Structure 1
Amino acid sequence: MSRVLVIDDSPMLLELTVRALTAAGYEASGAQDLAALDQKLTEGPFALILMDVNMPEMFGDDVVEYLRKQKGVTAKLVLYSDISEQELEAKVKNSGADSYILKSGGLEGVLGGVMGLIGAPALNIPKAPMAAGGRKPRILIVDDSEMTARIIEADLVSKGFEVHVADTADKATKIILKKQTRPDLVLLDVRMPNVNGEQFCRFIKSNSLFKGIKVLLCSGENVEELQRICREAGADGYIPKDAVMGSLVAKELMPPGAE
């Protein structure tokens, strides 16, 4: 069984974490408060419950005792927080939780922690092809919407990509200039303040240093407008924002003839 329950009072973090776990193949769901938690527990047992430590109406370490003693839950109980690791270790020990995951590790840290505790899901999840040198393919998401960028990041991380995020062209340029972070592909929002995606695409494609970097434009524009911008900016392709990001990007990076 690969059912995971995430408890967090932040709607954005809750959605991102559940999306990342679901994309990785787990049957994941979320709860923001005790009432929602109790409702989820009636839907069947979970293999792991991930709990934010600091929430308005309850603390994650108190919920551990509630779940063990009052609800008889046998799932792995994991505390999740951005407090110091030493303080988190102490809370795990005092509450009887099974483990902890640091929020500073991001979505990749959550996925790694969950897999380490309950194993990889049984589903067959497509993984990214390896890039040159045997490393993970590297993708840079450039989007001024943090929510959009993090949702796309969650999907791509779960599929085995190394992902970097920038909300401006200036930050993206710094990432591209460093050899150790230079991406294989840039997923570029068209509509951004200051330097827009069309201008930034031209910058990448006109610089011989960045030869080999693919650029996919990502936008909510209609298809005809996206095709025009793509053609005039020299992009390698485009993805409507409502498309399934992970599968399309994986296909774009897959070597010709590969299954």
Structure 2
Amino acid sequence: MKVLICCDSELVLQMTGMALEAAGHQVLLEREPHALVPEVAGAAALLVDAGRAKQAPALLRDRGFTGRALLVGEGAQEELARAAAELKLDGAVSAPGSEDFPKRFTAAVEGRRRVLIVDDSEIVARLLQEELEAKGFEIQYAPDAEKATSIILKRQTRPDLILLDINMPKVDGGQFCRFVKKNEMFKSIKVLFCSGEEKEKVQRLVQECGADGFISKDELLGKWIVDNT
């Protein structure tokens, strides 16, 4: 895994780097975030301490970083997690000098993924939410493209995946998918159509709109009916 590390503390910088290099990760260390700009391509994670937590993630995301930004440092995990939430980071990992640090780092990078459900049917959205939350995903909901746009525009609420209905009022799923896929700001977001339309039609839309795939709404609802009768 390619990991960028940007810390004001030289001690935290070196300890974190050595621990992750020993675990087989590709590590790039810098105290100044500008020096990491040429390395953002393919980076899965950015580790920052409190001294760089406000500057580095914003700068590197603006330059194309699409991985998870984590707060690192000494102290209790709970305190770091609270600080990370306040700073709008994706998580935190404590004690870079401990033996289990690489394992906890991997868990933090692969932590809860955020899914945005865009569907004008609240019933379908609730069914999807129940199933995905049970699998550990964090769920957001938008009844239309306008609300969905307001969610994805904010870095702190931007999802990893959009489950997108096709037939919606005003802006339909195909139009919204094209908007997401043509905008460089949203290149880290995967889009799956979630539709009851015929498979062949949905497959054509996947190709035309640049979506990442689709799931059948009929199969989902059928599974729910069987499980609850």
Relative to the length of structure 2, the TM-score reads 0.48
